[in-house]
Structure 1
Amino acid sequence: MEIERVQEIATLSNINGTIPKEFIRLENEQPATTTIHGVVLEVPVIDLSHPDQQSLVASIFEASKDWGIFQVVNHGIPNELISKLQKVGKEFFELPQEEKEVIAKPIGYQGVEGYGTKLQKEVEGKKGWVDHLFHRVWPPSVINHQFWPKNPPSYRDTNEEYTQSLIGVANNLLGLLSKGLELEEHELKQGLGGEDLVYMLKINYYPPCPCPELALGVVPHTDMSSITILVPNEVQGLQVFKDDHWYDVAYIPNALIIHIGDQIEILSNGKYKSVYHRTTVNKEKTRMSWPVFLEPPPEFEVGPIPKLINEDNPPKYKTKKFKDYVYCKLNKLPQ
Structure 2
Amino acid sequence: MEVQSVQAIAFSSLTTNTIPAEFIRPEKEQPALTTFHGPAPEIPTVDLSDPDQENLVRLIANASKEWGIFQVVNHGIPSDVVSNLQAVGKHFFELPQEEKEAYAKPCGAQSVEGYGNKLQKDPDGKKAWVDHLFHRIWPSSVVNYRFWPKNPPSYREANEVYANYVREVADKLFTCLSLGLGLRGDALKEAGGGEQMEFLMKINYYPPCPQPDLTLGVVAHTDFSTLTLLVPNEVPGLQVLKDDRWIDAKYIPNALIVHIGDQIEIMSNGEYRSVLHRSTVNKEKARMSWPVFLEPPAEFVVGPVPQLVNEENPPKYKPKKFKDYAYCKLNKLPQ
Where on the TM-score scale, by shorter chain, does this alignment land: which range? Answer: over 0.9
Aligned residue in 1 for 2:71: 71
CA distance, structure 2, for counterparts of residue 87 and residue 36 of structure 1: 32
Aligned residue in 2 for 1:259: 259
Alignment of 1:14-163 (within 5 A): 14-37=14-37, 41-163=41-163
Aligned residue in 1 for 2:220: 220
CA distance, structure 2, for counterparts of residue 210 and residue 174 of structure 1: 41
Aligned residue in 2 for 1:168: 168
Structure 2 counterpart of 1:328, one-letter code: C
Structure 2 counterpart of 1:34, one-letter code: T
CA distance, structure 2, for counterparts of residue 320 and residue 301 of structure 1: 5
CA distance, structure 2, for counterparts of residue 40 and residue 109 of structure 1: 42
- CA distances 1:256-308 after superposition (whole Å, capped 9, x unpaired): 00000000000000000000000000000000000000000000000000000
Aligned residue in 1 for 2:183: 183
Given that residues 3 and 101 in structure 2 are in contact (C-alpha distance below 8 angstroms), is that contact kept between their aligned partners in structure 1?
no
What runs of 5+ residues in structure 1 fail to find an aligned partner?
none
CA distance, structure 2, for counterparts of residue 199 and residue 328 of structure 1: 21
CA distance, structure 2, for counterparts of residue 330 and residue 83 of structure 1: 32
Given that residues 41 and 250 in structure 1 are in contact (C-alpha distance below 8 angstroms), is that contact kept between their aligned partners in structure 2?
no
Structure 1 counterpart of 2:106, one-letter code: P
TM-score (norm 1): 0.99
Q: 1:121 to 1:300 in 2, by over 3 A?
A: same
Aligned residue in 2 for 1:269: 269
Report which stretch shifted further, 72-81 or 34-43: 34-43
Given that residues 40 and 248 in structure 1 are in contact (C-alpha distance below 8 angstroms), is that contact kept between their aligned partners in structure 2?
no
1:4 offset after TM fit, Å?
Answer: 1.1
Structure 2 counterpart of 1:218, one-letter code: V
CA-atom RMSD in angstroms: 0.9
Structure 1 counterpart of 2:300, one-letter code: F
Aligned residue in 1 for 2:194: 194
Residue 179 of structure 2 aligns to a residue whose secondary structure is: helix
Given that residues 45 and 70 in structure 1 are in contact (C-alpha distance below 8 angstroms), is that contact kept between their aligned partners in structure 2?
yes
Aligned residue in 1 for 2:295: 295
- CA distances 1:17-49 after superposition (whole Å, capped 9, x unpaired): 000000000011100100013656521100011
Aligned residue in 2 for 1:11: 11
Residue 156 of structure 2 aligns to a residue whose secondary structure is: helix
Aligned positions, number: 335
TM-score (norm 2): 0.99
Given that residues 85 and 158 in structure 1 are in contact (C-alpha distance below 8 angstroms), is that contact kept between their aligned partners in structure 2?
yes
1:231 offset after TM fit, Å?
Answer: 0.1
Q: 1:100 to 1:40 in 2, by over 3 A?
A: farther
CA distance, structure 2, for counterparts of residue 68 and residue 81 of structure 1: 26
Structure 2 counterpart of 1:266, one-letter code: I
1:109 offset after TM fit, Å?
Answer: 1.8
1:168 offset after TM fit, Å?
Answer: 0.5
- CA distances 1:94-116 after superposition (whole Å, capped 9, x unpaired): 00111100011112222100001
CA distance, structure 2, for counterparts of residue 195 and residue 245 of structure 1: 37
1:117 offset after TM fit, Å?
Answer: 1.0
Residue 37 of structure 2 aligns to a residue whose secondary structure is: strand
1:245 offset after TM fit, Å?
Answer: 1.0
Residue 278 of structure 1 aligns to a residue whose secondary structure is: strand
Residue 170 of structure 1 aligns to a residue whose secondary structure is: helix
1:15 offset after TM fit, Å?
Answer: 1.9
Given that residues 39 and 247 in structure 1 are in contact (C-alpha distance below 8 angstroms), is that contact kept between their aligned partners in structure 2?
no
Residue 125 of structure 1 aligns to a residue whose secondary structure is: coil
1:247 offset after TM fit, Å?
Answer: 0.8
What runs of 5+ residues in structure 2 fail to find an aligned partner?
none
Residue 36 of structure 1 aligns to a residue whose secondary structure is: coil
Aligned residue in 1 for 2:313: 313
1:242 has 2:242 as partner: yes
Q: 1:245 to 1:155 in 2, by over 3 A?
A: same
- CA distances 1:191-242 after superposition (whole Å, capped 9, x unpaired): 0111000000000000000000000000000000000000000001000001
Given that residues 138 and 200 in structure 1 are in contact (C-alpha distance below 8 angstroms), is that contact kept between their aligned partners in structure 2?
yes
Aligned residue in 1 for 2:210: 210
Q: 1:241 to 1:12 in 2, by over 3 A?
A: same
CA distance, structure 2, for counterparts of residue 192 and residue 160 of structure 1: 22
Task: List structure 1 runs of 4+ shifted beyond 4 angstroms.
Answer: 38-41
CA distance, structure 2, for counterparts of residue 28 and residue 44 of structure 1: 27
1:3 offset after TM fit, Å?
Answer: 3.1
